[in-house]
Structure 1
Amino acid sequence: MSPDLVTADGVRSAAELNQAIRELWLGPGGHPAVQLDDEQRATYWRLLAELQQVERRDVVEAA
């Protein structure tokens, strides 16, 4: 986890996670990646799971 994407409590925001997902899909040089390799795919699914947790937390805090 990149230190610049972590808040003081160790949780990334939805915006930060979305940016990390975009960067993963863009690949090196900012060009869209046609396919993700196995490691990138695992990272993608981990980021999505983390994003879902953040979104659920945000909904609970809003309520």
Structure 2
Amino acid sequence: MELAGRSIRERVMQTLVVFVVFFAYDYLQNAVDWSYLFAATALFFVMMLVIDGLSERLKSRS
């Protein structure tokens, strides 16, 4: 199954990488904020879907 041209596995892996990077940064700053981490990764996931969907739509029009 694909979401906007990429597999769900790819999308989840990208989101997990973003989560780990933000967590590591917060951990090094001694300020882990779980609500920020989950909100930022969810926003990243949604924004990647929107960007890839728009790019696929623009490619199909050309």
| TM-score greater than 0.5 by the shorter chain | no
Which of 1 and 2 has greater Rg? 2
Higher helix share: 2
Shorter-chain TM-score range: 0.3 to 0.5
TM-score, scaled to structure 1: 0.43
Would you tell me which structure has more strand in proportion to its own residues?
2
Higher relative contact order (CA 8 A, sep 6+): 2
